[in-house]
Amino acid sequence: MAQTGMVPVFYHKDIEVAKNVLKACYEGGVRAFEFTNRGDFAFEIFSELMKFSLKECPEMILGVGSIVDAGTASLYLSMGANFIVGPLFNAEVAKVCNRRCVPYSPGCGTVTEIGIAQEAGCELCKVFPAGCVGGPSFIKNILAPMPWSMLMVTGAVEPTRDNLTAWVKAGVTCVGMGSKLFPSEVISSGDWKAISDKCLEALNYICEARKQILNKS
C-alpha cells in the first residue's frame, strides 16, 4: 500500500468480471487490491478471487473491505485475506486481526478516532469519507501534531493529476479508489485494457507527486 500509493476498491457479483478487473489492475501496476464485502455471497466470490490471484497475480496483496464486525473479519481471514478494511473502527475486529498478524485499516473521521485506532494497533488508518471530513487540508493538519500517522483516504479521490497530487502532497500514505477507476460503461463493455491504462496513469501521477516532494526536501 505504502509502496505503490493506491488501492483499487471493487466489488462485482460475477466472478469472471472480478477476475478480469483484478488482472487488469495487476497489469496496470497495482499490487494491493481491496474487494468489498457488499453483495450477497460476496465471501464466495472472494474465495475464488483469492485462488485466482495466487495463480495469476502472484505479487498482489488481496484484502477485503466494508468489514464492520469481528465475525465477518474472521470469515475472510480464513480465506486468506491479506488485510481488512472497514468504514468504521471496531475494537473486536482489531483483536481478531492482531491475533492473526493481519493489518486492519479502520475508517476514521476525527483525530480522536485515529488516535484510538492507533492505540489498538492499527498502523494504517482510513480517513473516510475523506472529502466530507476536510479533504487534503484535514490530512495535513492531522500530520502536523501526529507525524507518525499513516493515513489512507477513500472518498473524493479521482485518478487525475491535480486530485492525486493534492492528496500526496498533504501527506497520505496511499489512496483508495473505486468507481472512478471502474466506470460502469467500461465494465459493461469488458474493456479491461482501459482499466490497466487508467491504473498506470494514476500510479504515475502518484509517483510524480512523491518525486516533487523529495526534490523540495
Q: Are strands 150-154 and 124-127 parallel, antiparallel or unpaired?
A: parallel
Question: Considering all CA atoms of the chain, what is the largest pairwise distance in Å, rounded to the nearest integer?
Answer: 49
Q: How far apart are CA 13 and CA 39, in angstroms?
A: 7
Predicted pLDDT of residue 168: 98
Cell digits of residue 182: 471502474
Confirm if 63 and 85 have CB atoms less than 8 A apart. yes
Predicted pLDDT of residue 140: 97
pLDDT of residue 2 exceeding 90: yes
In 15-102, where does DSSP find H-type helix? 15-27, 42-56, 70-77, 91-99
Mean pLDDT (whole number) for 87-102: 98
Burial class (CB in 10 A: 0-12, 13-18, 19+), 191: middle
pLDDT of residue 193 exceeding 90: yes
Confirm if 161 and 180 have CB atoms less than 8 A apart. no
Cis omega (within 30 of 0) on the bond before 129? Answer: yes
pLDDT of residue 211 exceeding 90: yes
Q: What are the pLDDT digits (tens) for 49-77?
A: 999 999 999 999 999 999 999 999 999 99
Instruction: Delineate the domains of the chain, giving CATH numbers in brackets.
Output: 6-216 (3.20.20.70)
Q: How far is CA 69 from CA 18, 66, 86, 99, 152, in A?
A: 24, 10, 9, 15, 20
Confirm if 151 and 145 have CB atoms less than 8 A apart. no
Predicted pLDDT of residue 190: 97
